[in-house]
Chain A
Amino acid sequence: MGRYIIKRLLQGIPLLFFISLILFLLMLNVGDPVATMGGRRVTRRADYERLRRQLGLDQPVYLQYAYWLLGNDWTKIDLDGDGVAETTGTRRGVLRGDLGISLLNRKPVIEVIGERLPNTLILMVASELVIVIGALLVGVFSALRQYSIMDNLITAILFIGYSMPIFFVALISMFIFAVLFKRWGLPYLPTVGMFDPQAGKTTAQVLWHMVLPVLSISIISFAAYSRYIRSTMLEVMGQDYIRTAKSKGLPRSEVVFIHALKNASLPIVTVIGLDLPLLLGGAVVTERIFAWPGMGRLFLDHVDRVDMPVIMGILMLVSLAVVVFQILTDIVYAWLDPRIRYEK
């Protein structure tokens, strides 16, 4: 197993390399970061040239990529435009943990992402917990009562939930739980930000502000997972070994939650393993609507301004997470299913 993990990690290196190459080439076509830097005023030609040179954007693509990956402190670059490279570079490159500096606010990318990542993580971990726990309960429940009135009702509700776009869920929940509740004199939920500036950033405040964003993020995945768990549970409940377990006189709870769920959880783990790393990227739409200062909003804001280092940083972080979570999924899989053994 240990060797298998190491092997998989080593395989991840060339994969990440290719991902970074493709992303970098795609980024070059997003737009010109310098074009948006002057604000309302038109940038003068000379300033434009100078900025491009200072940001290293005048270099050929392969060099830009090399500097991004390996840094440029081992070579000299031309900053003043006289054609002579006399200044030693300062960038250390992604490989040495330097993701570069944001073009937008001149802060290190690591710092920019580091400020936002925890905010996204609390939101996303909470949502994923709601999704997985809720879907397990609802999925198992409706599998055990297939075609009952409750099952049909749940199915109908889930399909409605599944077919609603996130922005609609977000706006309608805002309208109901904030606007209408306030009008009716009920305790209403906040719709913007992580905390009330007057109350300060306390745990209670953040939890209170999380309710609506978590609701919006969860609904679609919750509906999808529930259906998925329902169908895998149904399949497993029809297996011979479930009949064996019943014939031994095991109580229903033990049949369902040990004999059936352990088998049914195998395909579910795969889906969760694929979904989890994407959480790091944040929820672009939800964070935007609820003004949640997370990764999704960060991404959106910086894509607008073609802030290449930050965008590359976010995308590479997500890519890395995908690779790592795939390996984690495999490990969990082997732990759940004794028939799976990884060779070498």
Chain B
Amino acid sequence: MANHILEVRDLSTRFHIAEGTVYAVNGISFHLDHGETIAVVGESGCGKSVTMLSILRLLPIPPAEIVRGQALFLGRDLFDLSEREMENLRGRDIAMVFQDPMTSLNPVLTIGRQIGETLRIHMGLEKEVIRERTIKLLEQVGIPDPIQRLNDYPHQFSGGQRQRAMIAMALACQPSILIADEPTTALDVTIQAQIVELVQRLREQMNMAVIWITHDFGVVAEIAERVLVMYAGYIVESAPVDKVYENPRHPYTMALLAALPRVDRRRSARLRSIPGAPPNLLVEPTGCPFAVRCELVTERCRVEMPPLILHGPNHQAACWIDVSTGIPF
């Protein structure tokens, strides 16, 4: 408990739009320890990003509404802070890197300015010091010729370089938590590996805790110590990374793993995909959201959402069925 740098309790986020209410996040709880890396996995639209944006209070309210829950950062509930206190905390204590570096940088301001801003706001440094720090940051994230590139605009950077600049921006104040929201999705495969490596190296240097959002189970093994599997706004399984691969306890986790191409599998074998699509979040959830796509579904699954059941140290899954035998508990 004492080691938790971030603890989220029973967080629920909804969006009120013209078509009705979107049940985006439905009472999730998780924690993050000092210096730990967790991966949040799930298909697109299952509430991973919304969870993180809720914690940082970056969602526009309305249409978004944080219905209930707490997000304790070092014991302080972020939802109780004033807007001003929140501004001080963003970028300094908790920083975020976004999915698409093409649109996440301001096109009309120089890279140097956009990185330096964070230093100016949070550290109140002088112009010269900011400049030097910015150059050093660009160097750290592996951008050649940082002195020249300082005055360049985002469109003069390649996609990978922009993501590197985004990371430099996020790490400028040495935050204790970095939230990386699918930072490699928009990049080439070779660049993806570099970015993953870069974040890992910097994480060790700075002793940061990292929340890495991804829908790619392949990356997870490389970076994370723990995995949260999300589906339709619920955490359906939470486990140490080796347990997820060895002994998944939720049918959705198993399905995701089965959809992963593997070296040791016959090449002629077809890759499995999960039939159907994630549920419509406009309908108030009753029962297990995965029931309609689940092979092991029982009557109970359709009417009652299973709680997280403990399967081992730090290993929980929300399923009525013992997946190893196919029999309900």
Interface set of A (CB-CB < 8 Å, partner B): 239-241, 243-252, 254, 258-259, 262-263, 336-339
Which of A246, A248, A338, A339 has the most B CB atoms < 10 Å from its CB? A248
Q: Is the CB of B58 within 8 A of A241?
A: no
Interface string of B295-325 (1 = CB under 8 A from A): 0000000000000000000000000000000
Q: Are A259 and B87 in touch, CB under 8 angstroms?
A: no
Residues of B close to A337: CB separation below 8 A: 107-108
B92 near A: Cβ within 8 Å? Answer: yes
Bound Cα distance A75, B171 (Å): 79
Instruction: A244-B106, A249-B88, A262-B108 given; name 4 further pairs at CB < 8 Å.
Output: A241-B104, A249-B89, A338-B110, A339-B108
Chain B positions 148 through 182: 1 when the CB is less than 8 Å from some CB of chain A, otherwise 0:
00000101000000000010010000000000000
A248 touches B105 (CB 8 A): no
B153 neighbours in A (Cβ, 8 Å):
338-339
Nearest residue, chain B, Cβ from A241 = B106
Instruction: Judge whether B107 and A247 touch: CB under 8 Å.
Output: no
Chain A residues, CB < 8 A from B88: 249
Q: Are A249 and B90 in contact (CB-based, < 8 A)? A: yes
Contact of B103 with A by CB under 8 A: yes
B224 / chain A contacts, CB cutoff of 8 Å: none
Q: Is there contact, CB below 8 Å, between B104 and A249?
A: no
Interface centre among B83, B91, B100 (most CB of A within 10 A): B91
Contact A336 B108 (CB under 8 A): yes
Q: Is B67 an interface residue (CB 8 A)?
A: no
Q: How far is the CA of A248 from the CA of B96 in the complex (A)?
A: 8
Do B90 and A244 have beta carbons less than 8 Å apart? no
Tell me which of B56, B109, B122, B155 contacts A247 (CB under 8 A). Answer: B56
Interchain nearest-CB distance for A148 vs B (Å):
11
Interface size class, chain B: 20 to 34
Shortest distance from the beta carbon of B163 to any chain A beta carbon, whole Å: 12
Which residues of B are found within 8 Å of A262, using beta-carbon distances? 106, 108-109
Q: Which 7 A-B pairs have the closest CB atoms?
A: A249-B91, A249-B90, A248-B91, A240-B103, A338-B153, A241-B106, A247-B96
Residues on B with beta carbons closer than 8 Å to the beta carbon of A254: 117, 121
Residue from the list B96, B107, B117 in contact with A241, Cβ < 8 A: B107
Measured CB to CB, the nearest residue on chain B to A236 is B106
Minimal Cβ-Cβ distance residue in A for B108: A262
User: Can you spell out 26 A-B residue pairs with CB atoms less than 8 angstroms apart?
Assistant: A240-B100, A243-B98, A245-B117, A247-B90, A247-B95, A247-B96, A247-B98, A248-B91, A248-B117, A248-B121, A249-B88, A249-B90, A249-B92, A249-B118, A249-B121, A250-B87, A250-B91, A250-B117, A250-B121, A254-B117, A259-B106, A263-B108, A336-B108, A337-B107, A338-B108, A339-B155
How far apart sit A254 and B107, CA to CA, in the bound complex (Å)?
16
- Complex: how many Å from CA A337 to CA B107? 8
User: Are the C-beta atoms of B121 and A240 separated by less than 8 Å?
Assistant: no
